[in-house]
Amino acid sequence: MARAASVLVLLSESGGAYGEFSEALKNERTARGGFALTVMTRAEFGPADLGGHDAVVAVGAGALRALAQIDAPVPVLSVLVPQSAFEALNNGDNARRWTAIHIDQPFSRQIELIRLALPEARRIGTLVDAAHPERLQPLRAALSGTALQLSAGSFTGEAALFGALSQVLEKSDVFLAMPDPQVHNAGTVRNLLLTSFRARVPVVGFSAAYVRAGAVMSLYSTPEQIARQTADALAGWMRERSWPSPRHPKHFTVSVNPHVARSLGLRIDDGDVLRDRLIRQERQP
């Protein structure tokens, strides 16, 4: 009888979203079978721990960096990592055996959500670190062919962030938050949301925490949804012994903050209604 594939799940740290993902993947494995799972944190991990495993699921950027540092010789699936961080680490020989389910949503989906929820919005604002202007290119591409305009700002250093934000908000009907830690972190989110609220510009976030903090809505994938897609990728890898190309999440959630919407004078559908409309549109040929 053939040995079941052995998969190492390497967590950047225990608990939080990483722990939720780990438990959800264990549940997927129990329901589907076909592979064995070993879970450990980056703090516990050493190169010898790769022995006997056929593939690694790297959960979070810390875990991915640990594997890059030792040039891990096994196939690696990156999850809960932004596309920009994955691409920065995925180079050279790694490119042939690494793939990813990015944590960020495709811009086409984000733009369509804005069109559905805020049909009167015409100008979409966003901010990027001046060191990485290339991060705007996929957003520009998603906006091409639509009636929507991009109002983008850039900044260098946190001291310049809110000046750049104020300029962008003056020319925006909605502000799209992108998962850039230089822009959106524990030290900036509260003031960013307050500044946007005072300017009467709704913010579209990228996490459940963001909508709880005051974004009018957020589009994101839960750890459980990423775990379901991860199990699908592992099943395909066991059949084909090759990964799919890096991709964005298949399953997603839309959350709406009705209190913020009312305060801004906006009428926005329930998050489940918006998600179902997005799913139907994505299924259309």
Does domain 5-102+223-240 correspond to CATH entry 3.40.50.10350? Answer: yes
Per-residue pLDDT of 17-59, as tens digits, reads 999 999 999 999 999 888 899 999 999 999 999 988 999 999 9
Q: What proportion of the chain, given as a percentage, has pLDDT over 90?
A: 78
Residues of the chain with CATH 3.40.50.10350: 5-102+223-240
pLDDT interval class at 93 (50, 70, 90): low
Residues 6 or more apart in contact with residue 174 via CB below 8 angstroms: 114, 118, 121, 123, 124, 125, 201, 202, 203, 204
Mean of all residue pLDDT scores within the chain = 93
Which phi-psi region, left, alpha or beta, contains residue 73 (left: φ > 0; alpha: ψ -120 to 50)? alpha
H or E element that contains 19 = helix 16-32
Least confident of 84-98, 194-208, 241-255: 84-98
Residues of the chain with CATH 3.40.50.2300: 107-219+252-283
Whole-number pLDDT of residue 94:
66
Whole-number pLDDT of residue 4:
76
What's the pTM?
A: 0.92
Whole-number pLDDT of residue 1:
42
Q: What is the chain's alpha carbon radius of gyration, rounded to the nearest angstrom?
A: 20
88 against 224, higher pLDDT: 224
Check whether 186 has a pLDDT greater than 60.
yes
Assigned fold of 107-219+252-283 = Rossmann fold (3.40.50)
